[in-house]
Structure 1
Amino acid sequence: MKTRRLGKHGPEVSALGYGAMSFSDFYGPTSEAASHALLDLMLEAGVTHLDTSNVYGSGRSERWIGSYLKARPAARERFVLATKAGISQDASGARKLDNSAAHLEAELDASLMRMGVDHVDLFYVHRREAARPIEEVTEVLARLQAKGKTRAIGYSEIAPASLRRAAAVHHIDAVQSEYSLQTRAPELGLVQTCAELGTALVAFSPVGRSMLTDRPLRVGDVERVPFLKVNPRFAPENHVANLAITDRFRQLAAEMGVPAAALAIAWLLAQGEHILPIPGTRDPQHLREAIQGAELVLGPEDLARIEAVLPVGWAHGDRYDPVQWIGPERYC
């Protein structure tokens, strides 16, 4: 497995990581044993970058990582662990954002306990609380780093301008953002700003929530996934249109002799050495296909062919609905 640096001061990690939101039931039911089997596969393949959050399955993702590390203590030295906090609930159960010092440290402490570790390698603010100055929040993250509770700090779903404000206070090791052939908004400033500042761009949903694979969810399948059921890109008319367009990409991948997911991952890795995809899946075969993408090397002609079948702006529908947009920063 090829490696890349997690920010200019960070550790070497596998070029391909894994998003452990799939250890919750977000995309469908799974089990602790199945999640542990995926962790075994990651170590066998050299996938060392493991990303989770306190809210994935209300802590279940972290607990299952913790039970794996307890059973296999040597794995802790091989995995680079990242987790996130900053999403909370009000008294009525509605989602709210909390970037206060008390909340972030308490949630990080709880994450460490669930995973059975004394520190994580990277701690993100999961969603920025707009009313709280990002400079103040960055100082909180820096104090957590100084205490040894995390070795690196980052933000998820922030704008390039916010990254610059934060970086003026303390170096930001990583920014996490949705980025793929389907979602290319990061190219309007975030990719460039991260490269300039020596910040890793950790790309989640790199295969477009299945749309850039050989087995995309079909119309009707999304009814069992609450997030996708209300997501504009999976609304029936948009979904049909997006499937028709991405059929061309699947055909191209077949002509090139690789899985579509592998080609999508390879394209993303070709966009910059600071870009680190973290696909999430419950299926070992899907993970193997993503791993294959980390080994592909695409030349200029290959990239041009991909751009020809999936030009910028091809996707029908916004990437989030109004509720899902609460927290992520728009910047274009």
Structure 2
Amino acid sequence: MASPAAVAVPRIKLGSQGLEVSALGLGCMGMSAFYGPPKPEPEMIALIHHAVAAGVTFLDTSDFYGPHTNEILLGKALQAAGLREKVQLATKFGVLTTADGTPEIHGEPAYVRAACEGSLQRLGVDCIDLYYQHRIDTKVPIEVTIGELKKLVEEGKIKYIGLSEASASTIRRAHAVHPITAVQLEWSLWSRDVEEDIVPTCRELGIGIVAYCPLGGGFFSSGPKMVNTLSEQDFRKGLPRFQTENLEKNAMVFERVSAMAAKKGCTTSQLALAWVLHQGSDVCPIPGTTKVENFNQNVAALSVKLTPEEMTELESYASANVAGDRYHNIVYTWQNSETPPVSSWKAE
């Protein structure tokens, strides 16, 4: 396996609207939220700088992470001289944390605009490269939400529009209002439901695909033992696939992938990440990490080559053998992202 320093990170065109990014991105959520307590700010800023120096320039955040604290962290990291010009900055809007901690999904034009202004301020930039609707507001026609995003593009506040966890029909309706550059979705060896309809739709329309959780929330890094190391604040502790009744079956999936990785001379996480990287030049995985050594391992996955036969073998290990759903509640996923017709909307 090539050392991380020897692995050049290629560039890819994400979508057909002109955005070019590193073939591997960096998911920044876990630095500030959901994966236990926030990590030390100086260390995370150093990690972001290390990533950019290594050629991983596509940085992913959201106003929901914290909330707000992850964007503030990235804003501080970007204050280094010349760094803004080197990165492609992606953030998201649409999920509001209420006083009791439950999320509310919003896609009204006024909310879209206010959220964008807030993100610009926290990130310390005058333009966001890729701005996603984080989750689809099923109360607001997608055409209305995209219409406001289109105005923000025209005003120079965002360059490209993205969607996250959107169904194929929602993607089509959005794309008819303004070209969608990227759709972010969960895609990994153990989350493949998007392959039937959503991925083909993106490819038909020339939309790039950004794969989050390409390592199964860390499962393909360290296997079932990771559950014992999670803090009580880590939301993964409650996910169905990490529950005792499912973990034993999923452990067998990890063991088979791990055995194949040993034959290939790479780590299990590198093999799982390589599988996503081999899905096509229109796919950019964004594994998150808070450690430089794990980041370096992820970059080295770019040098793992898989034959079609090896891809099929890997898929056979996981496809029919994974126990448990992605989430307890599918309400906030593409499976429930249909919006009312635009004719039903009455602007306030």
Pairs within 5 Å for 1:131-170: 131-170=139-178
Where does residue 112 of structure 1 map in the other structure?
120
The counterpart of 2:72, out of the listed 44, 63, 67, is 63
Name the CA distance, whole Å, in 1 between partners of 2:220 and 2:283: 18
C-alpha RMSD of the superposition: 1.8
Shift of 1:137: 1.1
Name the CA distance, whole Å, in 1 between partners of 2:236 and 2:250: 14
Shift of 1:91: 5.8
2:57 is matched by which residue type in structure 1? T
Larger mean CA deviation between 156-165 and 1-10 belongs to 1-10
Where does residue 211 of structure 1 map in the other structure?
219
Structure 1 position 327 matched with structure 2 position 329: no
Seq. identity, %:
38
Name the CA distance, whole Å, in 2 between partners of 1:264 and 1:42: 20
Structure 1 position 314 matched with structure 2 position 321: yes
Shift of 1:219: 4.2
The counterpart of 2:228, out of the listed 200, 206, 220, is 220
Name the CA distance, whole Å, in 1 between partners of 2:231 and 2:251: 16
The counterpart of 2:180, out of the listed 169, 172, 183, is 172
Shift of 1:331: 7.2
Structure 1 position 198 matched with structure 2 position 206: yes
Shift of 1:225: 4.1
Q: Unpaired runs of 5+ in structure 1?
A: none
Structure 1 position 103 matched with structure 2 position 108: no
CA contact (8 A) 2:25 2:57 kept: yes
1:247 is matched by which residue type in structure 2? E
Relative contact order, CA 8 A, sep 6+: which one is greater? 2
Residue 148 to residue 315, structure 1, CA distance change in 2 (3 Å)? same
Name the CA distance, whole Å, in 2 between partners of 1:92 and 1:38: 33
Where does residue 276 of structure 1 map in the other structure?
284
1:190 is matched by which residue type in structure 2? I
CA contact (8 A) 1:213 1:260 kept: yes
Q: Unpaired runs of 5+ in structure 2?
A: 1-8, 338-348
The counterpart of 1:250, out of the listed 258, 264, 276, is 258
Residue 159 to residue 313, structure 1, CA distance change in 2 (3 Å)? farther
- Secondary structure at the aligned position of 2:82 is classed as helix
Name the CA distance, whole Å, in 2 between partners of 1:308 and 1:241: 14
CA contact (8 A) 1:202 1:275 kept: yes
Pairs within 5 Å for 1:1-16: 1-16=9-24
Where does residue 45 of structure 1 map in the other structure?
54
Counting matched residue pairs gives: 328
- Secondary structure at the aligned position of 2:151 is classed as helix
Instruction: Give the alignment's TM-score, normalised by structure 2.
Output: 0.90
CA contact (8 A) 1:2 1:295 kept: no
